[in-house]
């Protein structure tokens, strides 16, 4: 079995609730040190137990995000914020509806000038001193946020075309392939790698091969998540199925 780089911490979990608890613990530790932390947060199926646990803790007064700043990692081009499938709506449903969050920055999927929208995202982030924590997932094709295979490893926030594989993986959200947008805004790989810390959440047997490839194979644009190997430190929370090849 390939070995993880020594600077990576792997937390194997047996149940989605445990992933939620461990990920929430990680965030709670950061907030205890830095209540005004700047976070990039993901959408998708993998982080649902994390948000469920954050909602529970917020309701019980066990976690406080009221001074934190949250950036949505990505957004589908062409959606309005209020569209149910937007990343903004996802975070509103799974986080903001349950926890008071200091500030939330989300891409405007309808922005008339996409480049200006991305520059604004980068400059807002820079003015806040950059990310304290990026919570990320990995796509079956190795994408990180919406940085698809072929993305430059030093890429900045930008508008990208989605691969057919990524679009097909979003049918659960949009109901039909024809409704899945063809483009999306994403924080860049270079942008994300500048975060002070990274937490990677991965679940499911269908991620086992790509996870092992990303963390123990060559660092290459063909597997965008392989850029994580350049991190001085990474915390990975994975279920047994996803970690099977590590």
Active centre residues (catalytic): 74, 141, 143, 148
**Residue among 9, 17, 32, 45 that touches ligand PGA (CB under 6 A):** 45
The interface mask with ligand PGA, positions 56-95, x = CB under 6 A, is ----------------------------------------
**Residue among 20, 49, 109, 137 that touches ligand PGA (CB under 6 A):** 137
Q: Does 46 bind ligand PGA (CB under 6 A)?
A: yes
CA dist 78 to 17, 124, 156, Å?
Answer: 34, 22, 20
The sheet with strand 38-41 has its strands ordered as 8-13, 234-239, 198-202, 133-136, 38-41, 69-72, 103-105
* Stretch of 10-18, 43-51, 150-158, 181-189 contacting ligand PGA, by CB under 6 A: 43-51
Q: How far apart are CA 123 and CA 186, in angstroms?
A: 14
User: How is residue 48 written in tokens?
Assistant: 């649902």
Q: Does 235 bind ligand PGA (CB under 6 A)?
A: no
Categorise residue 157: left if φ over 0, alpha if ψ from -120 to 50, beta otherwise.
Answer: beta
Sign of CA dihedral 94, 98, 104, 110: positive
**Residue among 40, 87, 91, 138 that touches ligand PGA (CB under 6 A):** 138
**Residue among 20, 49, 109, 139 that touches ligand PGA (CB under 6 A):** 139
* Stretch of 4-12, 117-125, 136-144, 150-158 contacting ligand PGA, by CB under 6 A: 136-144
Q: Does 151 bind ligand PGA (CB under 6 A)?
A: no
User: How is residue 38 written in tokens?
Assistant: 């700047």
Q: Does 188 bind ligand PGA (CB under 6 A)?
A: no
Contact call for residues 145 and 136 (beta carbons, < 8 A) = yes
Q: Does 44 bind ligand PGA (CB under 6 A)?
A: yes
Coil, strand, or helix at residue 123? Answer: helix
Q: Which residues bind ligand PGA (CB under 6 A)?
A: 44-46, 137-139
């Amino acid at each position: 079995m390939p070995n993880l780089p020594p600077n990576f911490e792997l937390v194997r979990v047996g149940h989605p609730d445990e992933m939620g608890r461990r990920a929430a613990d990680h965030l709670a530790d950061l907030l205890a040190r830095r209540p005004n932390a700047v976070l990039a947060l993901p959408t998708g199926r993998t982080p649902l137990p994390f948000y469920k646990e954050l909602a529970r803790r917020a309701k019980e007064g066990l976690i406080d995000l009221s001074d934190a700043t949250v950036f949505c990692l990505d957004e589908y081009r062409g959606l309005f914020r209020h569209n149910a499938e937007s990343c903004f709506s996802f975070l509103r449903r799974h986080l903001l509806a349950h926890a008071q969050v200091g500030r939330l920055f989300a891409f405007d999927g309808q922005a008339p000038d996409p480049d200006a929208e991305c520059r604004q995202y980068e400059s807002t982030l820079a003015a806040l001193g950059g990310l304290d924590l990026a919570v990320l997932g990995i796509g079956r094709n190795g994408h990180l946020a919406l940085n698809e295979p072929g993305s430059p490893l030093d890429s900045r926030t930008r508008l990208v075309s989605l691969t057919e594989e990524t679009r097909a993986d979003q049918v659960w959200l949009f109901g039909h392939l024809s409704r899945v947008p063809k483009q999306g805004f994403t924080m860049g790989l270079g942008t994300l790698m500048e975060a002070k810390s990274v937490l990677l959440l991965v679940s499911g047997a269908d991620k086992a091969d790509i996870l092992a490839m990303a963390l123990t194979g060559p660092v290459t644009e063909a597997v965008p998540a392989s850029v994580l190997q350049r991190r001085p430190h990474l915390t990975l929370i994975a279920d047994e199925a996803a970690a099977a090849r590590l």
